[in-house]
Amino acid sequence: MKRTERGFAMYAEFRDANGETVKVQRSSAIGHRLVWIFPEAKIHLGEAISGAHLTVPMAKRVIKALQRFIDGEE
């Protein structure tokens, strides 16, 4: 499994339908088991968008990554 620079699990990293990076990774929060979903911020028609534009296969990758987190994979 890929790891962040600080050693936390990276459950998924891929490009969305617009070519922007999406990451699902373990949070460094102490005392809580949390996960981050990072859609890369982008500009569309002059507005900042902080969401991922996913196809069905891409959404399945997010589901798979979140299931790995839920199952406690590190």
- Its pTM stands at 0.78
Name all contacts of 15-18 with Cβ < 8 Å and 24+ positions apart: 16/52, 16/53, 16/54, 16/58, 17/53, 17/54, 17/55, 17/58, 18/42, 18/44, 18/53
Q: Rounded mean pLDDT of 55-60?
A: 95
Q: What percent of the chain has pLDDT over 70?
A: 99
Reported as a pLDDT band with limits 50, 70 and 90, residue 55 is: very high
Reported as a pLDDT band with limits 50, 70 and 90, residue 41 is: confident
Q: Rounded mean pLDDT of 57-74?
A: 94
